[in-house]
Amino acid sequence: MAKLFALVPAAGSGTRIGGDLPKQYLMLAGRPLLHHALATLCRDPAIERVFVVLAPGDTHYARYDWQPLAARITPLYCGGETRAASVFNGLLAARDEIDGADWVLVHDAVRPCLAPEALARLIAAVRDGDSGGLLALPVVDTLKRGDDDARVVCTEAREHLWQAQTPQMFRYRLLLEALRAIDPAAATDEAYAVEQLGVRPQLVTGDARNFKITYPQDLALAELILGSMQPQMDADKR
């Protein structure tokens, strides 16, 4: 059976909510955001290894204590200018450990509240096929298209629309081919790159708790969510 690996692009320098500190190193419940994003991946016994793609000049990663995850993490200092470039570089750097038919789960460094059951649901739904897939949620809010002056232009139909999450799971060979063929600046996620090859990834129902940290107030919400998830995580350890 094909093996599973995870890859977390964490080379971004975005400091919109963190002053001079890249967002993935902001503290949440006593740990950097990145630690929480890695934790669920590292705890899943089905995942062989978790690769963390860092910027070549990253000086922050080594300052933190990554126990008890360190034995399952391999840092790769080969991040690029875009997310797609970082993922592509990471795949190349890990090529000696991953076969073409193996699976790679790409997860955002700033999604700290991935639930084990959502991860398991994605793996179960995708691993017996070849098209890959991603966690996502059906859009339930009304969508408005605005103009440059923030005035409503129209209301968009929301039927069949999904909000993409991560992880996104694809076979190594397919993902590498897809990323090699696109403009790295155009791809906001891995599914987009795969779609350009004519492949239709599977949408797997995600979890609203698995949101991306974007605004300062998101940190407080994430801490509450992690607190509510902790009893189950403790029970799973036993």
* Average pLDDT taken over every residue of the chain: 94
DSSP summary character for residue 82: S
Q: Is the per-residue pLDDT at 231 higher than 90?
A: no
> pLDDT of 62-78, one tens digit each?
999 999 899 999 999 99
pLDDT (mean) for 17-37 = 90
pLDDT for the residue 148: 97
**In whole angstroms, what is the distance from residue 168 CA to residue 36 CA?**
17
Please provide the size of the chain in residues. Answer: 238
Q: Is the per-residue pLDDT at 233 higher than 70?
A: no
Q: Tell me which residue of 204, 187, 72, 195 sits closest to 127, measured CA to CA.
A: 204
What tokens were used for 109? 């460094």
Q: Is the per-residue pLDDT at 38 higher than 60?
A: yes
DSSP secondary structure letters along 90-151: HHHHTTTT--TTSEEEE--TT-TT--HHHHHHHHHHHTTSSS-EEEEEE--S-EEEE-TTS-
Q: Which residue has the tokens 């692009």?
A: 9
Q: What is the pTM of this model?
A: 0.94
Q: Which residues contact 48 (CB under 8 A, 6 or more apart)?
A: 3, 4, 5
**In whole angstroms, what is the distance from residue 142 CA to residue 158 CA?**
7
> pLDDT of 163-192, one tens digit each?
999 999 999 999 999 999 999 999 999 999
Q: First-to-last CA distance in the chain?
A: 28
> pLDDT of 135-161, one tens digit each?
999 999 999 999 999 999 999 999 999
Q: Is the per-residue pLDDT at 18 higher than 60?
A: no
Q: Greatest CA span in the chain, whole angstroms?
A: 55
Q: Classify domain 4-237 by CATH number.
A: 3.90.550.10
> pLDDT of 96-123, one tens digit each?
999 999 999 999 999 999 999 999 999 9
pLDDT for the residue 234: 60
Q: Tell me which residue of 39, 46, 45 sits closest to 8, measured CA to CA.
A: 39
Q: Where is pLDDT greater, at 237 or 79?
A: 79
**In whole angstroms, what is the distance from residue 27 CA to residue 45 CA?**
26
Q: Where are the beta strands (DSSP E) in 107-195?
A: 133-138, 143-146, 152-156, 162-171
For residue 201, whether the previous peptide bond is cis, meaning omega lies within 30 degrees of 0, is no
